[in-house]
Amino acid sequence: MSVAIPADIVSLGDYERHAEQRLPADRWAYLAGGAADGLTRRWNREAFDRLRLAGRVLRDMTGANTRTTLFGREMAAPLVVAPTAFQTLFHADGELGTVLGAGATGTWMTVSTQAGVSLEEVAAARHAPLWFQLYMQHRRADTLNLVRRAEAAGYEALVVTVDAPVNGARNEESRAGFRLPAGVEAVNTRGMAVPSSTAGPGESPVFKGLLDGAPAWRDIEWLRAETRLPVLLKGIMHAGDARLAVETGMDGVVVSNHGGRTLDTLPATIEALPSVAEAAGDRIAVLLDGGVRRGTDVLKALALGAKAVMVGRPVVHGLAVAGAVGVAHVIGILRAELETAMALAGCPTVDAIGESAIWSR
């Protein structure tokens, strides 16, 4: 059955507007909300807006393209679908719609541990490389179970989220009364142990049980020894952590503040990117997510040291509005905007994009 995309959708912002209109208020609060006062979420976007590009003219654009290579695999464009949990909240097809839409454009997708569809089902529907986003579990045996399942299903990298040992203060979700509805669950972790609070009356629950078993660098070293897949750490915002990632044998890091959903008042990811990229050097791949809404944002991230960007909420907006077709359209818009930005900035290839593309006077 064909899906009609509303005629007034020409940008990722248009998809966001339509998604908000279509989704119940509590589900929108879960998707769009940030931690506490939402400052980091807002800054992710504002920091991109503040950066200006240095357009160049009369450059030789013969053979211009958006291709790049990551972990030995060629990408059609430096775009990766970011992991987003419980996509069946937003469309009946959930992650199966997203993997179909991403695959139609040749775009890589990262599947969340907290997907509403099993990682094996998503892998069976893929038409482009998949990565698996891993939350380290309370028991190492459960973590290893997820890793082995991902390996067996053909996932090509592990993206370990390290910036959410506990949830941020999700005030918007709480005000909206969000709860997972019946039939929506993290199917990949059924039966696995979860930490629980041991707080007594009048005690804060955070330091009373919830952090027992939270991952530390020793656990990352253990994971590195257990798999041959490339391992990336998602949630790196500090140069010191980037250096530790290199020292522990990681293959990459994702500069991410969890979309502003964990620790509020963290800086924007594009602000943190240069120092992380400098610390990582050429030793590991550096990616970025958070606030990407335009092709010019992708160009700015590449100019400041990212190898590729991850895109999360906009993809879900496309899914909510038009299923797999909407996902493919979102990616298509972003890629077309990147091509336009590269053409007008005088950058014929991804490798030609450097810091000189940012206006510095």
Element (H, E) at 12: helix 12-22
Neighbours of 180 (CB within 10 A): 13
Please return the burial class of 293, using the count of CB atoms within 10 Å of its CB with bins 0-12, 13-18 and 19+.
buried
Chain centre distance of CA 207: 28
Alpha carbon distance 168, 185 (integer Å): 20
Chain centre distance of CA 201: 38
74 - beta bridge partners? 69
Q: Are the CB atoms for 323 and 93 separated by under 8 Å?
A: yes
Closest residue by Cα to residue 196 from 210, 177, 183: 210
Alpha carbon distance 129, 146 (integer Å): 18
18, 91, 258, 317: the active-site residue? 258
Q: Are the CB atoms for 288 and 48 separated by under 8 Å?
A: no
Closest residue by Cα to residue 101 from 336, 342, 321: 321
Alpha carbon distance 359, 15 (integer Å): 29
Alpha carbon distance 76, 88 (integer Å): 27
Alpha carbon distance 177, 171 (integer Å): 10
Does 258 qualify as catalytic in the annotation?
yes
Alpha carbon distance 136, 145 (integer Å): 11
Active site residues: 258
